[in-house]
Amino acid sequence: MTPIRPRLASFVLAVAALAGPALAQQPQQLPTVKLNAGMHNIQAQVAQTFDQRQVGLMYRREMPSNEGMLFVFEEPSKQCFWMRNTLLPLTIAFVADDGTIVNLADMQPLSEASHCSAKPVRYALEMNQGWFAKRGIAPGAKLGGAPFSK
């Protein structure tokens, strides 16, 4: 009689090895916060741990028009972003503690070009590319919401 357990264990390990990369490429689901830019509402997922910020919006194939991702850092510093494994064209707003947009940058899918804040910031908000421009939102505009109402 041939032992079944070693075969089963080998099968399970083989399936796990094949599924591992696929599972790693699943978009993360994070807590959300409601923000606004004047009369425009935003539902933003909040990435506040190192691991959450590292993954960001990677592997997503679509994002609803008024949704985005707010990156929260421990303290203001120069923040730089790239688009490795990110499939969507995005615009990033680098945001001061009081919600003021410091600068904006359009970012292309799968690019490793670096996009940095013009000065130290604690927040960065990624939205679908063109979201800010279509609404006339430029540097100097203020975002509202819980993170900025301190």
Check residues 150 and 23 and name the one with the higher pLDDT.
150
Q: pLDDT tier at 60 (50, 70, 90 boundaries)?
A: very high
Check residues 1 and 121 and name the one with the higher pLDDT.
121
Give the rounded percent of residues in the chain with a pLDDT score beyond 90: 79
What is the spatial distance between Cα 75 and Cα 86, in angstroms, rounded to a whole number? 25
To the question of pTM greater than 0.85 for the whole model, the response is no
Check residues 86 and 14 and name the one with the higher pLDDT.
86
Residue 68 has pLDDT above 80, yes or no: yes
Report pLDDT digits (tens) over 125-140: 999 999 999 999 999 9
Residue 5 has pLDDT above 70, yes or no: no
Nearest to 70 by CA among 34, 107, 98: 34
The structure tokens 């910031």 sit at 121
Residue 117: alpha-carbon gap to chain centroid: 15
Residue 9 has pLDDT above 50, yes or no: no
Give me the pLDDT at residue 150, please. 62
What is the spatial distance between Cα 69 and Cα 127, in angstroms, rounded to a whole number? 7
Q: What is the dihedral of CA 86, 120, 68, 48, to 10 degrees?
A: 90
Give me the pLDDT at residue 89, please. 98
What is the spatial distance between Cα 67 and Cα 80, in angstroms, rounded to a whole number? 21
3-state SS string over the chain?
CCCHHHHHHHHHHHHHHHHHHHHHCCCCCCCEEEEEECCEEEEEEEECCHHHHHHCCCCCCCCCCCEEEEEEEEEEECCEECCCCCCCCEEEEEECCCCEEEEEEEECCCCCCCEECCCCEEEEEEEECCHHHHCCCCCCCECEEHHHCC
Mean pLDDT computed over 9-15:
41
Domains and CATH numbers, the chain: 28-148 (2.60.120.1140)
